[in-house]
Amino acid sequence: MSLKIETKCVQGGYTPGNGEPRQVPIIQSTTFKYSTSEEMGKLFDLEASGYFYSRLQNPTCDTVAAKICELEGGTAAMLTSSGQAASFFAVFNIASAGDHIISSSSIYGGTYNLFAVTMKRMGIEFTFLSPDCTDEDLQAAFRPNTKAVFGETIANPALTVFDIERWANMAHKNGVPLIIDNTFATPVGCRPFEWGADIITHSTTKYMDGHGSAVGGCIVDSGKFDWMKYADKFPGLCTPDESYHGVNYVERFGLEGAFITKATAQLMRDLGSIQSPQDAYYLNLGLESLHVRMQRHCENGMAVAEFLESCEAISWVNYPSLPSSPYYALAQKYLPHGSCGVVSFGVKGGRKAAEEFMKKLKIIAIETHVADARSCCLHPANATHRQMNDEELVAAGVSADLIRLSCGLESSDDLIADIKQALGL
């Protein structure tokens, strides 16, 4: 039976049998018992499926990953300890020293730093391009050693909307997958696989958890990218893995399972960035109401954006669902039911006025966070994007006066009243 996204949010991933717990059980165990070494050996050889150590896999995490997999319409998924770990694993699973990745320049500051600094130190080179670059510019960036293309559906904090279909076509023309960070849109707002993306990452810390209670991440595979067709480019998936008893991931697990099995068996084994079962449980509670909350976040985002646009004291407003946004057409295509609760804007008077305004807010708190039930705001040039120079800030779409406001689930009347009093209106 094909279910609607709302039903998948509530019931996906877990169907208890007779007399079993109605709520997803928290399997708070590092290890699992077997009767014979032969049985254990089969698990190590990936010949049988089962749990043996929670650094690699845990049943609670897998149940919640299965729900996110259903929401995105993928074939396999895994939870990670953070969104950063998800972005790192998704890229590092198919790229190593000497390889090259093309990324949108309009991405989360932490991801930019991971790519441009840390992964560069590991020998992987990144080319950053504006999400609005021409097809010619994008084509010119591909090299024989390019292994993937990366972008964010709605970029944090620039709020650019990524043209997934266009970039997916270009990636596929060049024989590489498109990886999409779908954190801000969530699968309730946009399902990138339906537009040609191959791998999806999430910071589940944001709307999916939605209550500021658990840091986490997720990777989902569409199962559609034909690794074997480009076997020379992806030897890690298409030739025997000597570190795992010579397993060939694509031959053994098919296109639908190879990517996530390799990331679990190899990266999770060696780097151990799994989510805790307790946090996966909190994440599942958040997912159960994701569809209801996203609707309200979007309504509040729109109401606040419309107010800011009409306000004399505000110099500019950026919200993709506003008709005045340069991303309005893309938002209508990819996010027809609303974009998200995050709005960015500048207060007249620049950096200083922005700091004064933020100090006076009463309901909206200053936090390094977004996508939470409680409204919060941040000055990225002073926080998440602090490591960038002015030129890099401009490339990431973040001006020095930008305030990022994440509209929570409160009454939009109260949020607007708080903004008004902080502006002295």
Ligand X SMILES: Cc1ncc(COP(=O)(O)O)c(C=O)c1O
DSSP letters, 285-306, are HHHHTHHHHHHHHHHHHHHHHH
Residue 174 binds ligand X, judged by CB under 6 A = no
Residue 217 binds ligand X, judged by CB under 6 A: yes
Residues touching ligand X, count (CB under 6 A): 17
Burial of 73 from C-beta contacts in 10 A (0-12 / 13-18 / 19+): middle
Task: Check binding of 84 to ligand X (CB under 6 A).
Answer: yes
Tokens standing for residue 94: 């198919």
Nearer to ligand X, 58 or 183 (CB): 183
Q: Is 344 in the site for ligand X (CB under 6 A)?
A: no
- Shortest Cβ 206–ligand X spacing (Å): 6
Is residue 131 a contact point for ligand X (CB under 6 A)? Answer: no
Least distance to ligand X, CB of residue 385, Å: 11
Q: Is 380 in the site for ligand X (CB under 6 A)?
A: no
Q: Taking the complex as a whole, how short is the minimal distance between the CB of residue 358 and ligand X, in angstroms?
A: 19
Stretch that binds ligand X, among 44-52, 200-208, 268-276, 399-407 (CB under 6 A): 200-208
Produce one character per residue of 157-181: b if its CB has 16 or more CB atoms within 10 Å, e if not. Answer: bbbbbbbbbebbebbbebbbbbbbb
C-alpha angle 165/116/124, rounded to 5°?
Answer: 85
Task: Please state the closest distance from residue 107 (CB atom) to ligand X, in A.
Answer: 7
User: Which secondary structure element, helix H or strand E, spans residue 240, and what is its range?
Assistant: none
Binding status of residue 82 toward ligand X by CB under 6 A: yes
Among 146, 174, 186, 203, binds ligand X (CB under 6 A): 203
Q: What angle do CA 369, 375, 380 make, to 5 degrees?
A: 40
Stretch that binds ligand X, among 199-207, 239-247, 248-256, 331-339 (CB under 6 A): 199-207
Residue number closest to ligand X, CB atom: 83
Binding of residue 110 to ligand X (CB under 6 A): yes
Quick check: 213 binds ligand X (CB under 6 A)? Answer: no
As measured in angstroms, the least distance from the Cβ of 349 to ligand X is: 27
C-alpha dihedral sign at 136, 142, 148, 154: negative
Calculate ∠ Cα 68-190-149, nearest 5°. Answer: 85
Task: Report in angstroms how near the CB of residue 83 gets to ligand X at its nearest.
Answer: 2
Token readout for 379 is 């000055």
Contact (CB, 8 A) for 410 and 363: yes
Task: Burial-class residue 36 by CB neighbours within 10 Å (0-12, 13-18, 19+).
Answer: exposed
* 279 binds ligand X per the rule CB under 6 A: no
Binding flag, residue 205, ligand X (CB under 6 A):
yes
Is 153 an interacting residue with respect to ligand X (CB under 6 A)? no
To which H or E segment does residue 137 belong?
Answer: helix 135-141
**Binding site residues, ligand X, CB under 6 A:** 82-84, 87, 108, 110-111, 152, 156, 181, 183-184, 203, 205-206, 215, 217
